[in-house]
Chains A and B, each alone.
Chain A
Amino acid sequence: MSLPNPAGLISQMAIDLTAYLGKRGISEPRFIGIRTGGVWVAQALLQALGSQAPLGTLDVSFYRDDFSQNGLHPQVRPSELPFEIEGQHLVLIDDVLMSGRTVRAALNELFDYGRPASVTLVCLLDLDAGELPISPDVTGATLSLAPNERVKLTGPTPLALELQDLTTASAAL
């Protein structure tokens, strides 16, 4: 399967996001990327929008629902939100949307900072494999993968998508 080029997707996403926010009457959104891939996408998106807006970064490790299966992520870093959340319109950005659990964790974390006026979800790729009622408002592309396949974003410059095969990946270990 050939994977799309993230740069091409992001310029279209910038156009779609501007239209979406315009339709909603949102003039000063706060941008937040989910660590790590989501932050890269957010940086590229802000650049495509020609925006100098500060970027918040969110590390959802403390909010994940798989602690009892997978434990704590070893490289957790502090979340940094250089603006108020209370009453603000947020644009939450992630790289790959799969089960929706990362976004759920991110929403839980955001609400511990305050009560946002709205949250718009932007994802570079939607793998159409949701396990929760969460779907993006703006998407770069939608892909369907085989059960043994995963997509990984590498970056930050250049951003590239990489297809991983779980069967060979575990054999390599």
Chain B
Amino acid sequence: MTPLDAKRPLQLNHQGQLRHFLSLDGLPRELLTEILDTADSFLEVGARAVKKVPLLRGRTVCNVFFENSTRTRTTFELAAQRLSADVITLNVSTSSTSKGETLFDTLRNLEAMAADMFVVRHSDSGAAHFIAEHVSPEVAIINGGDGRHAHPTQGMLDMLTIRRHKGGFENLSVAIVGDILHSRVARSNMIALKALGCPDIRVIGPKTLLPVGVEQYGVKVYTDLNEGLKDVDVVIMLRLQRERMQGGLLPSEGEFYRLFGLTTARLAGAKPDAIVMHPGPINRGVEIESAVADGAQSVILNQVTYGIAVRMAVLSMAMSGQTAQRQFEQENAQ
């Protein structure tokens, strides 16, 4: 497959519409806003007695999860089902064979099932991109999280949460707290907040869990939680990724909680109407106090609801853009 325009990002079609959803990097503000607007409409569908629309009737969505997930997998399944698509979920365990070969073989098998769309989660950064480059041209690829790289639907559901609770991004201070180093959620959020015009993005964490050069995302770096939380409108807590931690980065979880755990007392330093977010699953008493996670300022469960709407928006927009691209290529071939 030769791209028509080598400079055009892989995930956009000839009209600049989404055809894959791999990363928020490089996506224009208008497109992100369109995703949020479309998700708002799907949120209304989710409040009806019949929570289903016929948009993807007859299409097949295949969730391919090389890495464990509960929330992302189930909300993607529900999103596809509410769009009337047929859904299958494969939990593929990663084997010891080299990643290129394994992915490639898996891909060929999935294509043989005539799926229209793959939702891919993989522990290797770049896996979704690799699949999008090699998949048959009519299939749309959605990134459900790849390594430390990106989790674009989580990023967009976080943006929807902020927009619905704060009205916009123009005058906000947003703090992202915790294990920034291992977090694809942090990366997607920083990119999205920047693109949507948030003027004050802060990342807060211990030096060992901050990636080198994180300032390039246009964020302010804090290593002191109280200082970083001062007067913020939004606090995004990250899960301490114990399974990704390879020794030596932290003295102990207790130490981390003492310095970076979000407690009621620390949250008091933020604006009184600040909201608290977390992508889940939460580690109570490790990065967040139960009283905060269950408190009045927490919107953690709203995020799950918004996640379904955002995934419905992305699935339908990518399918739409991919269809348009195919028509365009057929017309050009004639």
Contact = CB atoms under 8 A, between A and B. Distances in A.
B29 interface: no
A4 to B, nearest CB: 33
A76 interface: yes
Interface stretch (A16-24, A61-69, A126-134, A150-158): A61-69
Nearest to B84: A62
A78 B44 CA distance: 6
A150 B89 CA distance: 46
Contact of A72 (B49, B52, B320, B327): B320
A67 B37 contact: no
Interface string B45-67: 10011101111100000000000
A74 B324 CA distance: 13
Contacts of B37: 75-77
Interface stretch (A38-46, A47-55, A108-116, A162-170): A108-116
B18 to A, nearest CB: 10
Contact of A67 (B44, B45, B55): B55
Interface string B25-54: 000000000100110111111001110111
A72 B41 contact: no
B317 interface: yes
Interface range on chain B (Cβ under 8 Å from partner): 20 to 34
B44 A112 contact: no
Given A75-B37, A76-B37, A62 B45 contact: yes
A67 B320 contact: yes
B11 interface: no
A78 B54 contact: no
Interface in A70-102: 71-72, 74-80
B53 A76 contact: no
Contact of B41 (A67, A68, A71, A77): A77
B29 to A, nearest CB: 14
A76 B55 contact: no
A69 B321 CA distance: 11
Contacts of A80: 44
B317 to A, nearest CB: 6
Contacts of B316: 62, 72
B226 interface: no
Please indicate which of the listed interface residues A63, A69, A76 has the most CB atoms of chain B within 10 Å of its own CB: A76
Contacts of A67: 55-56, 320, 323
A113 B17 CA distance: 31
Nearest to B322: A71
Contacts of B49: 112-114
Contacts of B44: 78-80
Nearest to B50: A112
Interface of A: 59, 61-63, 67-69, 71-72, 74-80, 108-109, 112-114
Given A71-B321, A76-B38, A108-B54, 17 more contacts: A61-B41, A62-B42, A62-B316, A63-B54, A67-B56, A67-B320, A67-B323, A72-B316, A72-B320, A76-B41, A77-B37, A77-B40, A77-B41, A109-B53, A113-B48, A113-B49, A114-B49
24 contacts: A62-B45, A62-B53, A62-B316, A63-B53, A63-B54, A67-B56, A67-B323, A71-B320, A71-B323, A72-B316, A72-B320, A74-B34, A75-B37, A76-B37, A76-B38, A76-B41, A77-B40, A77-B41, A78-B43, A78-B44, A79-B44, A112-B50, A112-B52, A112-B53
Interface of B: 17, 34, 37-38, 40-45, 48-50, 52-56, 316-317, 320-321, 323-324, 327
List 9 A-B pairs, minimum CB-CB distance, nearest first: A71-B320, A78-B44, A62-B53, A112-B50, A72-B320, A78-B41, A76-B41, A62-B55, A72-B316
